[in-house]
Amino acid sequence: MKPAVNIFLHQSLMVGGLPFERKQPGYNDETETAMQEARDIASGKIPAKSYASARELFEELDREC
């Protein structure tokens, strides 16, 4: 393991930073939309749904499919 760390540190010094390109992960449109909806719910832009019971939740999920 030490040789790998030494190589990484040596390369970092040679390039003046990380020896690889940092990238944001890419997601498909459906996932991006779901993440934006979660952000909007968390920030209060749209109201979160609530259910009186787990059965009510599962019944709604069954209707959506």
* Number of independent structural domains in the chain: 1
The residue assigned the tokens 């390039």 is: 15
- Write down the pLDDT at residue 1: 65
Range of the domain at 51: 34-65
- Write down the pLDDT at residue 50: 93
Tokens for 61, please give them.
Answer: 């999920």
Q: How far apart are CA 65 and CA 51, in angstroms?
A: 18
- Domain-located, residue 21: no
The conformation of residue 45, written as its DSSP 8-state character, comes to: S
- Domain-located, residue 46: yes
By CB atoms closer than 10 A (0-12, 13-18, 19+), residue 56 is exposed
21: left (phi over 0), alpha (psi -120 to 50) or beta: beta
pLDDT tens for each residue of 6-54:
999 999 999 999 888 888 888 999 999 999 999 999 999 999 999 999 9
- Write down the pLDDT at residue 45: 96
pLDDT over 90 (residue 63)? yes
- Domain-located, residue 40: yes
